[in-house]
Amino acid sequence: MILHDTLTDEHRELQPLGDEVRMYVCGVTPYSQSHVGHALKSVVFDVLRRYLEWRGQPVRHVENFTDIDDKIIARAHDLGVEIEELSEQNIQDYLAQLRKLNVLPAHDYPRVTQMVPQIIDVVQGLIDRGHAYVAGGDVYYRVRSKPDYGKLSKRDIDELKSGARVDMGELKDDPLDFALWKAAKPGEPAWESPWGHGRPGWHIECSVMALNSLGEQIDIHGGGADLIFPHHENEIAQTEGYTGKPFAQFWVHCALLRMGGEKMSKSLGNIVSIGEALEEYGADAFRMFVLSSHYRTPATYSAEAMESARSGAERLREAAFAPPAAKGGGGAVESAAAKERFIEAMDDDLNTPRALAALFELARDINRGRTEGLETGEAQAALRELADVLGFRLEKAPSHVAEAAPFIDLLLELRAELRTAKQYQLADRVRDRLGELGIEVKDSPEGSTWEAR
């Protein structure tokens, strides 16, 4: 499989360092409900994991929770609740939404508050190695101690310095240096450390959680493109400064979800929660929306895009579970070529739009084969298998609808003959009566299809 690496800006073959692909994905900061931008990231890396495992490659997947943070502290204060209560509520809500999205659970969900002793050890190690220093109860990473700082984001350290500033109360040696440990402030959670009471800085958390869960070197570090700088840049500096080894083989970043031309974010207030999207459109529709764009290409969330995605998911479901043709004409619909196109697309930097095109071509062949009386069972099983690799459920219609399917198909054939004979009033009566029974008829240039509501 070929993946794009942000660090080298190259497409390279994924060759795991060990028996399993070790993949760390930056998770959410649970100060409020997660939105569909977070869900997009979760779906992308879920599909990457599903595909690798389908191809026989074991994956160990770790995703963190930053459960102590300035935003969580401020939000809890505004709501008048405990910090732990707020973060736990939003973590559980996020995990529940991922289950509805059919996202495979990570093998480990480390939290910052569970890792403070390990964070202190690594911070002390960075001090011992000359990469960090203590200043007034804070500990800062010395950015200029890492000559290749800026290699991920392609930023020049001298240009960064011109825009850097030191906030009031900070005692940095250099404006570029960033906090590994923050001295305690009144009313904030704090832990004892060699430098006094305080709490971890943002960036050090992920370095330590990745080290603890996956080891000193990992295969894939993933997240949204907004994390490239400064978060992932600082992760590299810290981790490599501590271990002396290259941190991740691949830095994989998905583009941000947009709404109305802007990125979707809590700070901008232009968010749609995961729960709202799932309630209105369903999990398969959301997956179809995400996977219809390449993961490195920004997608724009809209009602039109989601309706189109829902229709696409329904087309796959209808083809996957359509009853066999009434008449057997000999022969069967082939699926091998579609599977080859699917693999070729997924091996090419997780090209899900092309992979979906292979599925829709197979669905079209199945529908055409049914009209020609061909056997479709094997092709339908292949379609369901490939759809499962992409995380679609394609849940089958209720059994009573399946039993009625041959009769509904017969009514659609009769309706088509009525329309050919220009008896449109009778044709409309058939459509309307089916609608009253919960069967929606959809007309297209290729013919009419139906779905149960």
Q: How far apart are CA 140 and CA 390, in angstroms?
A: 43
Number of CB atoms found within 10 A of residue 183's CB:
20
- Which residue stretches of 372-398 are H helix? 377-389
Give pLDDT, residue 86: 96
Q: Residue 453 half-sphere exposure, CB side, CA atoms within 13 Å?
A: 12
Residue 110 phi/psi, 5° resolution?
-70, 150
Give pLDDT, residue 407: 86
Give the amino acid at 167: D
Please report, for the chain, how many H helices and E strands are present, in that order.
15, 15
Cα dihedral: 308, 314, 315, 318 (round 10): -170
> What is the C-alpha R_g of the chain?
26
Q: How far apart are CA 164 and CA 155, in angstroms?
A: 13
Quote the longest CA-to-CA distance of the chain: 88
**What is the per-residue pLDDT across 342-359, written as a single tens digit (0 to 9) for each?**
999 999 999 999 999 999
Give pLDDT, residue 259: 87
Q: How far apart are CA 53 and CA 60, in angstroms?
A: 10
Q: Which residue reads 């009144």 in tokens? A: 186
Give pLDDT, residue 328: 60
| Burial bucket for residue 278 (CB in 10 Å: 0-12, 13-18, 19+) | middle
Give pLDDT, residue 442: 83
| Long-range pairs of 190-197 with CB within 8 A, sequence gap ≥ 24 | 191/116, 191/120, 193/120, 193/123, 194/120, 194/124, 195/134, 195/137, 195/138, 195/139, 196/137
Give pLDDT, residue 238: 97
Q: How far apart are CA 58 and CA 65, in angstroms?
A: 23
Q: What is the pTM of this model?
A: 0.86
Question: What 3-state class would DSSP assign to 348?
Answer: strand
Binned average pLDDT, 10 residues per bin, the chain of 453 residues: 98 98 97 94 98 98 95 94 96 96 97 97 98 96 96 91 64 93 93 97 96 98 97 98 98 93 67 92 96 97 94 94 74 96 98 98 95 92 98 73 78 89 89 83 80 71
Angle at 310 between CA 276 and CA 323, to 5 degrees: 130
Give pLDDT, residue 311: 93
Angle at 24 between CA 19 and CA 29, to 5 degrees: 160
Beta-bridged to residue 273, according to DSSP, are 35
